[in-house]
Amino acid sequence: MNADADMPKSEMIRRSLRCFALGCWSLIPLVSIVTALLAFADFRAVVVGKGRHWNAASRRLFAGACLAGVGLLLNLVITAIIALAIVFG
């Protein structure tokens, strides 16, 4: 990717912070799938479009992706527990 196609720094920081916020929202059980997918989309867009720029919000970006992953796993575990309770309850 050349420097002309790189994401602008303001857009990169905005999307990094949005990824973190969506990652936090993904910990809520009913909305976790949609917000986690949006967080992963922002994570990918920033990583691909970063280029040679330094991302001041890189820790928030990676934390948002981790929170989104944890939110998806929690949603999967909660769904499995409810399904088992219905089947065997």
Q: Is residue 1 part of a domain?
A: no
The CA distance from 77 to 63, in Å, is 21
Q: pLDDT tens digits, residue range 45-84?
A: 999 998 888 999 999 999 999 999 999 999 999 999 999 9
Cα–Cα distance, 89 to 82 (Å, whole number): 10
The answer to whether residue 14 is domain-embedded is: yes
24/7: higher pLDDT: 24
Q: pTM surpassing 0.85?
A: yes
> Please, what is the average pLDDT of the chain?
92
Q: Of 32, 30, 14, 12, nearest to 22 (Cα)?
A: 32
Give the number of domains in the chain.
Answer: 1
pLDDT-derived band at 2, boundaries 50, 70, 90: low
Range of the domain at 62: 7-88
